[in-house]
Amino acid sequence: MPIKPHKLAIVGVGRVGDAVLSDAMMSGLFGEICVIDVNEDMAAGQALDQHHATALPNVANVNVYAGNYDDVSDADIIIVTAGPSITAGKNGATGAARRELAATNGTIIRATMAQITSRNHDAAIIICSNPLDAVVHIASTEFDHPQGLVLGTGTILDSARMCRVIADHLGVDPDYVRGYMIGEHGPSGFPMFSGVNVGGVGFDGLAELFDVPPLDRDDLTERINHAGIAVFNLKGWTSAGIGHSALTIARSILLDDHAVYPVCTTLRGQYGHDGDVSMGVPCVIGAKGVERILEVPLDGWEREHLDTTIKAIQETIAAAS
């Protein structure tokens, strides 16, 4: 098999797609990056801007260009950010706005997946469009593409915010706070406090270990959920984290590293669900995408939240049908 430089296609280059593109250019993972957008001028402009930057010191000569769906045929990774964002100030709310967005982006993801899957049967398709879990569910269950290779950024960023909030309380680097948000990438996702670990110590032992005031589950949950909304309210959008999240997944797939973090995937037997919901749950990620879904044990508080978040996601899926 001839040497094949890895190729990325990005579908949609608004705020989030731009963050994905910038991060991908600097990642060292790709020899070729194709940018696709319904706004062809925007796609061309983003690609040209990056094309110029390849001539700067310390920027690699990635072959970056604006293209169309024919260019996805030999892509290894396809990152989809198409469709409008959740509107700022609406708190990513569960109500009418969210259902309306689900309908709009449900239509967009169906059109996008139809374009992709008619041309490419092997790429990993990493979805960032919101409402994330519903969009991933449509892409994963309505099209013929290997199950593990259709996934979403899930609760990676939500988990990062969880770790950040705890890390701020303890005064440590959040990379050393291990913890996961599970379920919806949205307000009903919940922290798996029973799995938190810092320095080998679980959630309930952290206050003593670090000599800080106790951490309260409900208070923390609220602060974590508020973290994303705060960014929205202050600057009008979020972008810094999502590009890194998508690229983190891409790296794990291209290096087959078997990392463990929560991506959005369709449940296949876990928690008594089989193909009726997609959500963020810790997974092992390798060259086949989601190689294993980890059905982590939940305590009572978490189990209640699991039911709630699954119901919320299913309602959003219904709104997109």
Which one of residues 82, 192, 290, 317 is an interface residue with a copy of itself (CB under 8 A)? 192
Based on the shown chain and the rule CB under 8 A, indicate whether residue 136 belongs to the binding site for a copy of itself: no
Based on the shown chain and the rule CB under 8 A, indicate whether residue 207 belongs to the binding site for a copy of itself: no
Strands 32-36 and 7-11: parallel
Shortest Å, Cβ 101 to a copy of itself = 21
Catalytic residue among 51, 145, 169, 185: 185
Interface positions, 104-123, toward a copy of itself (CB under 8 A): 122-123
Interface positions, 58-97, toward a copy of itself (CB under 8 A): 58-63, 74, 76-77
Q: For a copy of itself, which stretch binds (CB under 8 A), given 101-109, 134-142, 223-231, 306-314? A: 223-231
Shortest Å, Cβ 221 to a copy of itself = 16
Would residue 185 show up in a list of annotated catalytic residues for this protein?
yes
What are the strands of the beta sheet with 201-202, ordered from one edge? 177-178, 197-198, 201-202
Based on the shown chain and the rule CB under 8 A, indicate whether residue 163 belongs to the binding site for a copy of itself: yes
Based on the shown chain and the rule CB under 8 A, indicate whether residue 46 belongs to the binding site for a copy of itself: yes
Interface positions, 231-290, toward a copy of itself (CB under 8 A): 231, 233-236, 238-241, 244-245, 248, 251-261, 282, 284, 287-288
Beta carbon nearer to a copy of itself, 49 or 216 = 49
Which one of residues 205, 270, 273, 308 is an interface residue with a copy of itself (CB under 8 A)? 205
Shortest Å, Cβ 314 to a copy of itself = 24
Based on the shown chain and the rule CB under 8 A, indicate whether residue 22 belongs to the binding site for a copy of itself: yes
Which one of residues 222, 294, 299, 307 is an interface residue with a copy of itself (CB under 8 A)? 294
Residues annotated as catalytic (active site), given as ranges: 185
